[in-house]
Structure 1
Amino acid sequence: MSAFDDLMAFQRETEALAGISGLLGWDQETMMPRGAAGQRAAWQGTLAHVLHERRTDPRIGDWLAAVDDAGLDTVGRAQMRHIRHDYARATRVPARLAAELARVTSTAQGVWAEARAADDFAAFAPTLTEVVRLKKEEAAALADGGDAYDALLDDYEPGARHDELEALFDRLRARLVALRARIAGAERSPPAPRGPFPAEIQMAMARELADAFGYDWSRGRLDTSVHPFTSGGGSDVRITTRVSESDPFNCFYSTIHEVGHALYEQGIEPGYAMTPVGQGVSMGVHESQSRICENQLGRSRAFTGWLYGRMRDRFGDFGIPDEESFYAAVNRVHGGFIRTEADEVQYNLHVLLRFDLERRMIAGDLAVNDLEEAWNARFEADFGYPVDRASNGVLQDVHWSVGLFGYFPTYTLGNVYAGCLNAALTAALPRLEDDLARGDARPAVAWLLESVQRHGGLMEPRTVIERAAGRPVSEEPLLAYLDAKFGALYGV
């Protein structure tokens, strides 16, 4: 076998072990007995150690040196790009640190969940302090003299830099604050649904919504968790949602959001399976798929008209008189604390808060013990009202407990990408509104499949978006969409 063949065979085995680790993580959030947390942490720590040894195996360096990229096809060269990038990063992190991070973050998930249930940040702060300490150590190793936060960001959005994101986010913030101010001065008040909405009916509706977008149940399943997420890839892509009997939109749009992520993984070229190219190219691109499904498609006037009829069939009269009122209710700009429940106008302000705070923690400018106070002060400054309890504030997201520093900005970047894709999608599909009015988002998903999803990691993140959108990445399509949609809804 050639050096390239040897390298890819080794890589497929590593990807298989990573898939097992991912399945253990899914189980921990959905079905694992509570008393198994310590044992699960040991398992994950052992797997992380094995994976780190494989990812830093000196043979990878030898194979990389022996491969002549000029003799490879486009896919082969993309595989080499990813493997070189990942090997360079992995060899900078000591095996001891990789195992310790896996052990601590696995335990931290349970500590966070209990602290969140008790609204007690102080109970979580010592564990988070340890996570931050380890992530700072990892960032310093990865940065190799460069910017520590950029080194962490590169795990989720290769090639992105925090200074570029800051400039983009500043342009967004100014326009979003102005739009929100105009809406706040409007006299329109959309109605709210009147429940209760039984959990079992919500879950039946969630499955119907997944069907509407073409989720492949033969390669997936739907469960519930504290924080909705998607896990897996290829032939096993699982999603979760959550249920509130007073708020069905939480379940429905969390489901559509996670279906968007799952469709990306299910849509990647099957021949790429268990290789570096056989997964989403970045979290920003991944988020573009979930957000365009959730918002531009799922919250459109056409699709909500269909959803209104289905809810009437299943729940009867739930306090909203007609389709137009329902469309306004689904898209209501409202006060609230939870990022995942935020409306389109204010969602990105939640992300920018987290982006700024986590950069300060990694830089050493913000101690974990001061995090709750800093969060609450920033939230009140941005949103105009105080945080009422920790579970609605600093404890609401699982991300920091599992060490996902550098992940949050990809949510807003995904919204920007989705804006670019939506402009191209609507131009390419003149019958899109008719399809959505029938509750059929599959033609739109087919366009996304062909334009973005099937490529997996074949191209750089921005390249795949710019090729699909037919234009450079810019915040303007997203802002134009938001101005037009909410300007019409609120008469501003």
Structure 2
Amino acid sequence: MSTFDTLMAYERDTQALGQIAGRLGWDQETMMPRGAAPQRGEEMAAIEAVLHARRSDPKVAEWLETAEAPDEAGAAQLREIKRRYERTVKAPADLARRIARVTSEAQGKWAAARADEDVAAFLPVLQEVVALKREEGQALAAGGDLYDAMVEDYEHGTTAAEIAAIFDAMRPGLVDLRARVLDRPAPKALQGAFAEGAQMKLTRKLAKAFGYDMSHGRVDKAVHPFSSGSGLDVRITTRTSEHDPFNCFYSTIHEVGHAAYEQGISRDYLLTPLGSGVSMGVHESQSRIYENQIGRGEAFTSWLYDEMRAGFGDFGIPDAESFYKAVNTVHKGYIRTEADELQYNLHIMLRFDLERALMAGDLEVSDLESAWNDRFEADFGYAVDKPSNGCLQDVHWSVGLFGYFPTYALGNVYAGCLNQKMRADLSGLDTELAMGNTASATGWLRENLQQYGGLRSPHATIAQAAGFAPSPAPLMQYLDEKFSRLYDL
């Protein structure tokens, strides 16, 4: 074999082990017995140590020196292996193992603390996570900005300063539009109880309607919905709420967006660095365009209205137009994952600023709850009522995902760009969506973005699909037009 072939064979095994580690995480969130958490921490740490050793093996550097790429995809493979190798060797193997062990334990402690509304029970282990992630960030930054080094894990090629500039440009318009909307009467809400079994039946129908291949996936329940895996095994989770079926349905559509991206990547890239989504921001662009621009659009909600009437009977909404307004209600609330399109990015901006402060040492873990509550009241105009609606609502910090949160809002920005181009390319799209047929929209995304996986950089991936460089302008225009019409502004 050539040096390139040798390196790719080695990489295939590394990628396979990474998938196994991901499956352990999926099991922990869905089926693992609660008492197994300490052992699972050891298991996760052990496999992380093996992965770190493979990713930092000096042989990789030697192969990279002499490997010759056979084509454009091969050059991209070498680029990504080199980028990961150089990043991995900066962080000690023992540190990676300690992070894996502590974050596995912290995940269980977070879930228990959230259920008990007990911030104090979670803070000691969060302090450990933050200390370890600061240590890792310092190693990765090598004298540069610590938070930039963390963002690189999720949106390579983007800095915190660039993200802050985008957020600063968006915030005034979002705050102004929200204020005008909340000054108008709220649409009529759903009434009654919605059985869990019926919710799960419809949620699986929704998953299939959006192109999720159930022969290579499954839908389960978890505290915090997520998507896991790539290639031939891509799983999603959702959650149910007796009086809020939208929580289940739109969580499902959101996670199907992630899963469809992974399932849509060219099989030529299976178990290679190009065989998964290029970044979390681009990943989020898929989940958000599935959930919002398609799933919450007037055309698709007219089909969903009929499906809900068939599954639940009368739930207090007289017609499809009123249902569309109910789906897109702008309302006061605490939970990021339940936030409407208009306010969602404000939730992300809050987390972005707080976690930057945590990593910089400007905010201590012991002060996190009060800092969160103060910032939330300043941004949203009312006080947090309980920890599960505040700093305990998200799993991300417990598992060490610092630098991840801003990619949610970047994904919204990217989705705005993609939606503008998709609508220009696909005439008659709404007629199909009104029949529950998303094939043209999801096919356009697969053809123009998903199939390429990690072939290009995040910005280049969006620019290639949309035809222009990423900008918040299309998203802001879309939000202004949509909610101005919905609320007669």
TM-score tier, shorter chain, comes to over 0.9
1:396 is paired with a residue whose SS is: coil
Question: 2:154 corresponds to which residue?
Answer: 156
Question: 2:9 corresponds to which residue?
Answer: 9
**1: CA distance, partners of 2:288 / 2:160:** 22
1:406 is paired with a residue whose SS is: coil
Question: 1:297 corresponds to which residue?
Answer: 294
**2: CA distance, partners of 1:441 / 1:68:** 41
**Corresponding residue to 1:352 among 349, 352, 357:** 349
Q: Which runs of 4+ in 1 moved over 2 A?
A: none
Letter in 1 for 2:80: H
**Corresponding residue to 1:198 among 161, 175, 195:** 195
Q: Deviations over 1:233-255 (max 9, x none)?
A: 00000000000011000000000
Contact 2:300 2:436 survives alignment (8 Å)? yes
Question: 1:338 corresponds to which residue?
Answer: 335
Cα shift at 1:443: 1.2
**1: CA distance, partners of 2:68 / 2:232:** 32
Q: Deviations over 1:119-156 (max 9, x none)?
A: 11111000000000000000000001110000000000
**2: CA distance, partners of 1:340 / 1:442:** 26
**2: CA distance, partners of 1:398 / 1:48:** 20
Tell me the TM-score normalized by structure 2: 0.99
**2: CA distance, partners of 1:74 / 1:176:** 41
Letter in 1 for 2:485: A
**Corresponding residue to 1:113 among 111, 114, 124:** 111
**2: CA distance, partners of 1:198 / 1:45:** 40
**1: CA distance, partners of 2:440 / 2:201:** 23
Cα shift at 1:427: 0.8
**2: CA distance, partners of 1:78 / 1:195:** 53
Contact 2:118 2:387 survives alignment (8 Å)? yes
**Corresponding residue to 1:171 among 140, 145, 169:** 169
**Corresponding residue to 2:137 among 126, 136, 139:** 139
**Corresponding residue to 2:179 among 178, 181, 204:** 181
**Corresponding residue to 1:259 among 231, 256, 274:** 256
**Corresponding residue to 2:410 among 396, 413, 416:** 413
Question: 1:490 corresponds to which residue?
Answer: 487
Identity %: 62
Cα shift at 1:68: 3.6
**2: CA distance, partners of 1:345 / 1:354:** 17
**2: CA distance, partners of 1:95 / 1:471:** 41
Letter in 2 for 1:111: K
Question: 1:430 corresponds to which residue?
Answer: 427
**1: CA distance, partners of 2:104 / 2:367:** 24
1:346 is paired with a residue whose SS is: helix
Is 1:58 matched up with 2:58?
yes
Contact 2:117 2:388 survives alignment (8 Å)? yes
Tell me the TM-score normalized by structure 1: 0.99
Question: 1:399 corresponds to which residue?
Answer: 396
Cα shift at 1:3: 1.3
**2: CA distance, partners of 1:4 / 1:214:** 35
Q: Deviations over 1:446-486 (max 9, x none)?
A: 00000000000000111010111111111010000000000
Question: 2:444 corresponds to which residue?
Answer: 447
Count of equivalent residues: 489
**1: CA distance, partners of 2:203 / 2:151:** 33
Cα shift at 1:185: 2.0
Q: Deviations over 1:154-205 (max 9, x none)?
A: 000000000011110001101100101111222x320111120000000001
Aligned runs of 1:465-480 on 2, under 5 Å? 465-480=462-477
Unaligned regions of 5+ residues in structure 1, if any? none
**1: CA distance, partners of 2:120 / 2:186:** 38
Question: 1:324 corresponds to which residue?
Answer: 321
**1: CA distance, partners of 2:346 / 2:93:** 37
Question: 1:376 corresponds to which residue?
Answer: 373
**2: CA distance, partners of 1:369 / 1:431:** 54
**1: CA distance, partners of 2:66 / 2:426:** 47
**Corresponding residue to 1:281 among 256, 278, 290:** 278
1:290 is paired with a residue whose SS is: helix
**1: CA distance, partners of 2:419 / 2:354:** 30
Letter in 1 for 2:114: R
**1: CA distance, partners of 2:291 / 2:265:** 20
1:237 is paired with a residue whose SS is: strand
**Corresponding residue to 1:315 among 312, 315, 318:** 312
**Corresponding residue to 2:94 among 93, 96, 101:** 96
**2: CA distance, partners of 1:9 / 1:245:** 49
Cα shift at 1:74: 0.3
Q: Deviations over 1:187-233 (max 9, x none)?
A: x3201111200000000010111111111010000000000000000
Contact 2:182 2:331 survives alignment (8 Å)? no
Question: 1:77 corresponds to which residue?
Answer: 75
**2: CA distance, partners of 1:215 / 1:396:** 27
